[in-house]
Amino acid sequence: MPLAHDPIAIALAEDIGPGDFTSRYFVGEEQRSARIFAKERAVAAGVGTGAEVFRRVDPQLKVRVVREDGAALAEGDSVLEISGPVRSILTAERVALNFIQRLSGTATLTRRFVEAVAGTSARILDTRKTTPGLRALEKAAVVAGGGVSHRFGLYDMVMVKDNHLAADRPADHLPAAIRAFRDGHPSVRVELEADALEQVRRFLTFDGVDVILLDNMTCAQMAEAVALGAGRVQFEASGGVTLATVAAIAATGVDFISVGALTHSAPAIDFSLELLP
């Protein structure tokens, strides 16, 4: 989905403001080359965004992408090479690094979850727990890490969660609401959240349900839910998923495992820019 705003422009404006005084007064006008490289093992993401930062700061800069998003990086591997006015390189440095290090952190953590469920049918999903204004970039980083982008917002999938169910509506309104929604939006998927097997059994009697979200259930409960609905709906596991627990969750047979930590708690990867001789 296209961005509704320009995060690069926002980031440059907050960092440069009226001008990069340090580079303007303390750096000469010479031409240099530089590279951005990983200082630890990682999965690359945000590389194109970082390249665009340099181009925005100075169209004279020549920027070459060395490693594409999704590439596995060893310590010391370059992701970008830049050449041109050294002042411009240094002005763009921090903003480019900020995008690359944070988005690569998301891609790297995603790859660890994906590898942990290898050999099962489960796919790792992201959530809407993203940095405000950076959702498109963060979800792209999840995909770079091998995950699957879940619904982008409130408009491209229905997800009826506990607070929706707790709203003051008749207890039997759900089947009618699903039918009404399907009449107007036949191609949009519908997902219902269940935190007990009794809810799963009830939801399986409804027409028009694509996915049932199993929220904070035990692995035994999830396996039973999957057996109840096999071939009729898909199942998503959610709630407190960690690298220590994700393999056991995947073994229950769920189709998807959503992990909020991919976008709200991924540690940034250490990248650096160095000027070359």
Query: Out of 20, 93, 215, 236, which one is annotated catalytic?
Result: 215
Query: Out of 161, 182, 189, 202, which one is annotated catalytic?
Result: 161
The answer to whether 79 and 36 are in contact (CB under 8 A) is yes
Query: Out of 129, 151, 182, 189, which one is annotated catalytic?
Result: 129
Query: Out of 20, 126, 193, 236, which one is annotated catalytic?
Result: 193
Q: Mark whether 62 is an active-site residue.
A: no
- Sign of the four-CA dihedral 123, 124, 130, 134: negative
Q: Mark whether 161 is an active-site residue.
A: yes
Q: Mark whether 129 is an active-site residue.
A: yes
* Separation of alpha carbons 208 and 247, rounded Å: 30
Give residues with Cβ within 8 angstroms of 104, minimum separation 6: 38, 42, 43, 44, 45, 46, 73, 141, 268, 269, 271
Q: Mark whether 193 is an active-site residue.
A: yes
Query: Out of 56, 94, 151, 202, which one is annotated catalytic?
Result: 94
Return the axis-axis angle of helices 7-16 and 47-57, rounded to nearest 10°. Answer: 50
The answer to whether 23 and 71 are in contact (CB under 8 A) is no
Q: Report phi then psi at 83, rounded to 5.
A: -140, 145
Which 8-state DSSP code applies to residue 64? Answer: E
Q: Mark whether 139 is an active-site residue.
A: no
Residue with token string 């071939």: 231
Beta strand 78-85 with 31-38 is antiparallel
Active site residues: 94, 129, 161, 193, 215
